[in-house]
Copies of this chain bind each other. A is one copy, B any other.
Amino acid sequence: MAPSRAYIHPETDEISLPRVLFALSEPLRLAMVQKLAADGEVDSIDLGPDLPRSTLTHHTSLLRESGVAFVRAEGRKCLISLRRDDLNARFPGVLDSVLAGAQE
């Protein structure tokens, strides 16, 4: 049996505020986070259907490595979701205020 792809994620208490803010500071990634907040877990392809695959991978990796998103493989799909509870536990109010501020 082939090993499934493993994605490395920071533990909740390893999530760093500057890295989270950096992840959210790029308009395309901020739009991805808005979509994840609205839709729950989505196929990563749907986060940027018009993007080059390398660009999409770059941004989803950065969201994962910063602790903003959780990524898992399912078959050939790569499913991604927002680590909302972890972010709220670690930095209360940051994600919600950023999402509210991004709605304009």
Chain A residues at the B interface, C-beta cutoff of 8 Å: 17-19, 21-22, 24-27, 30, 90-94, 96-98, 100-102
The CA of A100 and the CA of B88, in the complex, are separated in Å by: 12
User: Are A93 and B91 interface neighbours, CB within 8 A?
Assistant: no
Closest B-chain residue to A19, C-beta based? B25
State the number of copies, please: 2
Q: Is the interface of A mostly helix, strand, loop or mixed?
A: helix
| Interface residue from B22, B30, B90, B101 paired with A101 (Cβ < 8 Å) | B90
The CA of A101 and the CA of B90, in the complex, are separated in Å by: 8
| Interface residue from B18, B30, B97, B102 paired with A97 (Cβ < 8 Å) | B97
Provide 17 A-B residue pairs closer than 8 Å at the C-beta atoms, listed in order of the A residue: A17-B30, A18-B26, A18-B30, A19-B25, A21-B21, A21-B24, A21-B98, A22-B25, A91-B98, A92-B100, A92-B101, A93-B93, A93-B96, A93-B97, A94-B94, A94-B97, A96-B97
